Structures are given as C-alpha cells and as structure tokens.
C-alpha cells in the first residue's frame, strides 16, 4: 500500500486505469451485448472516461469515500480488511454516480438520474467490487511495489 502522498497518487493513477478499462468494457457489453462492437465502443470511450474518472477520484470521490467510511463504518483500530472493504464499497457507490451522469448526458433524461444511479450501483457492485478486491487490487499492488520498492518514492 502507498506510504506517502506521491505513492498514493501513482497508485491511484494505476488503479483507476485498470478499473476504468474493466468497467468500460463491462458497461459496453451490458449496453450492446458481447461483441467486437462493444469492445470497440469501450476502447474508444476509455480515454475520456479515464481522464474524467481520475479527476473525479482525485478531487472528490476518494476524500468523500474515506471520510464516510472512517466516520460511519470503521474505526482507526479496525482491521485493514474492514477498512479496505468499507472504502471500496463507498468508492463503487460514488463512482456509479459518474456512470449515471454519463447516461443522463447521452439520453437527456435528467429526471431519471436517481433511478439510473441506484440501478447502476447494483449493476456495478456485481462487477466492480469483486474485480477490485480479487484482481485489480492485488495486480496493482504487485506492479506498484515492483516498479516502486518501499522507500524509493519520497513524500
């Protein structure tokens, strides 16, 4: 896990890349069906989705998710696993709002934002949380520590 703010920024860039790529593919398949067209759609939309998601994550979501999790769900003495699960769940909920806003931008149905967001949360929890906990988290931690051994990135 990151030890200082610079490491945290690098880690976030890496994790966001993998999560946005995966969720872009997942959401395209959910909307279009499993096809080459869905993969193409996900890949073409990925750069903008990544840039927006990274900005939202760095500026709003990470702080809000950690704030909520540490205020209501976990205590400083809670286990590392409980802290990771709590923050990850909050991140999925808040990042699902981005997906809802994107759908509303495309459809123009802003009156349905809350319904779209709530539906998106359940759809995204099915894929995003397990992927983040089982695959993305371990892969990014391994790549991160391979590229940046402890003590090599100064805070």
Sequential pLDDT tens for the chain (155 residues): 677 888 889 999 999 999 999 999 998 898 889 999 999 999 999 999 999 999 999 998 888 998 999 999 999 899 988 988 898 899 888 888 888 888 888 889 999 999 989 988 888 889 999 999 899 999 999 999 998 888 777 66
User: What is the reported pTM?
Assistant: 0.84
Name which of 10, 8, 4, 49 is nearest 26 in CA terms. 49
Cα Rg, the chain, nearest whole Å: 16
Q: Residue 32: what pLDDT?
A: 87
**What region does 108 belong to: left with phi over 0, alpha with psi -120 to 50, or beta?**
left
Q: What is the pLDDT of residue 6?
A: 87
Looking at residue 38, its pLDDT comes to 93
pLDDT confidence of residue 155: 60
């Amino acid at each position: 896990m990151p030890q200082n703010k610079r490491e945290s920024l690098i880690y976030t860039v890496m994790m966001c890349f993998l999560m946005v790529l995966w969720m872009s593919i997942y959401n395209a398949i959910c909307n279009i069906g499993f096809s080459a067209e869905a993969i193409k759609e996900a890949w073409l939309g990925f750069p903008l989705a990544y840039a927006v998601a990274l900005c939202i994550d760095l500026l709003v979501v990470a702080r809000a998710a950690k704030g909520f999790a540490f205020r209501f769900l976990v205590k400083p003495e809670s286990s590392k696993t409980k802290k990771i699960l709590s923050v990850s769940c909050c991140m999925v909920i808040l990042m699902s709002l981005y997906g809802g806003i994107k759908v509303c931008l495309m459809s123009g149905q802003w009156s349905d934002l809350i319904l779209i967001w709530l539906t998106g949360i359940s759809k995204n929890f099915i894929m995003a949380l397990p992927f983040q906990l089982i695959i993305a988290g371990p892969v990014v931690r391994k790549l991160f520590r391979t590229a940046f051994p402890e003590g090599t990135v100064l805070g």
